Amino acid sequence: MTPPKRQLGLWITAAIVVANMIGTGVFTGTGFMAKALHDPPTILAAWVIGGIVALCGASCYAELGTMMPRAGGEYVYLREAFHPIAGFMSGWISLTAGFSAPIAASALAFATYQAKVFPDMAAVSPKIVACSLICGVTALHSLDTKVGGWVQTAFTTLKVLLITAFIVAGLGSGRGDWSHFAHEQGGFSNIATWGFGIQLMYVSFSYSGWNAAAYIAGEVKRPERTLPRSLFIGTMLVMVLYLLLNVVYFYALPSEKLAGVPEVGDLAARALLGPEAGQLITSLIALALVSAVSAMIMAGPRVYSSMATDGALPRPLAWYSSRGVPTVAVVTQGVLACGFVLAGTIDQLLRFVGFTLALSAGLTCCAVYVMRSRGTPATYRTIGYPVTPAVFVLASLWIAIAQIQTNPLESLIGAAVVAGGAMVYAFTLRGSSPKPVPSS
């Protein structure tokens, strides 16, 4: 077995963070939020709050990443802080809700957007288009880590530039109406409701990916410096872009016209820039979704490979090719993602992912308290400790409880996935003591 190589620098790592974050959520979630909350200022507040919570999480993960600079993310952190079963179950969540389901959601969103760009393709099933995208990108990332990283950096740079151009063109078009930002149906009083917690789940999903650098830590050059910087650069940049994109959406159209519409980006682009320019922007959004799929397909397999190296998953998943790619893990994830495409809709996948990721990420931030109490050395310390981890943990609990109350079916499915991971551990790994691989 060829061990992973440390060959990813700051900008490639930051690009992977940005690409993992900018995906389905910001191009679809606002439509679902507008249907539930109606009030544009409250929705914008949700994006700001979500960004602050993501920054809190990024700071916690940066400290944990410098304590344990190896690939695996939550799997490594929870195993070391609590118990091997906690690490295994977080890895199990990554395999399903963490990567495979979001890949499926982004691929389905791509299918809906490309149908707007190529109307003749509308007759083709979105599920076929989504599975084709997943298979193509999986094949790319099965070949070479460095080439995949370069492709990802190029995609991400182009995506950020194009989104910036959309924001500038949209706000500069003069075709929108600032009166769309007036308070509606209770205004900021909605923030104190459980319904707001559910909508914060959509926002949280949109920001998920801020921890992507932690999953590939074993392949990052100088992780003690690169991890914190890439996490903060990526998260801050995305927070600004998300807020401005939502300003463009509501500048273009009132909340009642956005309510329940999955393709809010397409609708806003056509309203502000006309049919032809709007179609161009829509095609760029579709490209951004391809980049998101690519980033997740690159990052996720590093978790499964790390688990397999420790004996927590079948050994073949740990195999790295001579070009530094965990090929078996990449292909396995692609198969699972296609399964999720066939099993659910975008909204169902978002709700499933939001609940399970809130549990996993919240528990991981608790690990900062545990590792500090043990005196574990780190080259980076969480800003605002001990308040910062507490903010993230409380926000995660709020999202999880709100989801249980409002969407019990998706919550039950998420709980069943977690329980399934516990059963797999109990029947296959209980009593064993996997030996961690040195961080190199």
Give the tens place of pLDDT for each residue, 278-325.
777 778 778 878 888 887 888 788 778 877 887 777 788 888 887 778
What does the pLDDT look like over 392-413, one tens digit per residue? 999 999 888 888 887 788 788 8
What does the pLDDT look like over 32-69, one tens digit per residue? 888 888 889 999 999 999 999 988 998 898 888 888 87
pLDDT the model gives residue 439: 43
Tokens of 284: 């760029």
Of the pLDDT bands very low, low, confident and very high (cuts 50, 70, 90), residue 438 is very low
Name the percent of the chain lying above pLDDT 70: 90
**Contact predicate 51/242, CB 8 Å:** yes
Domains of the chain (ranges, CATH numbers): 10-428 (1.20.1740.10)
Cα separation, 123 vs 144, whole angstroms = 35
Cα separation, 171 vs 272, whole angstroms = 8
Q: For residue 220, what are the β-bridge partners? A: 8
Q: Tell me what the pLDDT averaged over the chain comes to.
A: 82
**Mean pLDDT within 203-230:** 73
- One DSSP character per residue, 347-407 reads HHHHHHHHHHHHHHHHHHHHHHHHHHHTT---SS--TTTTHHHHHHHHHHHHHHHHHHHH-
Cα separation, 69 vs 72, whole angstroms = 9
**Mean pLDDT within 327-339:** 92
Determine which of 169-173, 271-275, 419-423 has the lowest per-residue pLDDT on average.
419-423
pLDDT the model gives residue 179: 92
pLDDT the model gives residue 339: 93
Name the amino acid, one letter, at 171.
L
Q: Residue 233: which of 17, 7, 6, 2 has the closest Cα?
A: 17
Cα separation, 7 vs 1, whole angstroms = 18
Output the pTM of the full model: 0.78
Contacts of 194 (CB under 8 A, 6+ apart): 401, 402, 405, 406
Determine which of 143-147, 267-271, 299-303, 328-332 has the lowest per-residue pLDDT on average.
143-147
- Burial label for 408, CB within 10 Å (0-12, 13-18, 19+), is exposed
**Mean pLDDT within 217-235:** 75
Cα separation, 171 vs 146, whole angstroms = 38
Contacts 24+ apart (CB under 8 A), 347-350: 347/32, 347/262, 348/410, 349/101, 349/102, 349/104, 349/105, 349/108, 350/24, 350/25, 350/28, 350/29, 350/32, 350/105, 350/201, 350/202, 350/205
Cα separation, 62 vs 368, whole angstroms = 10
Determine which of 181-190, 339-348, 363-372 has the lowest per-residue pLDDT on average.
181-190
pLDDT the model gives residue 437: 45
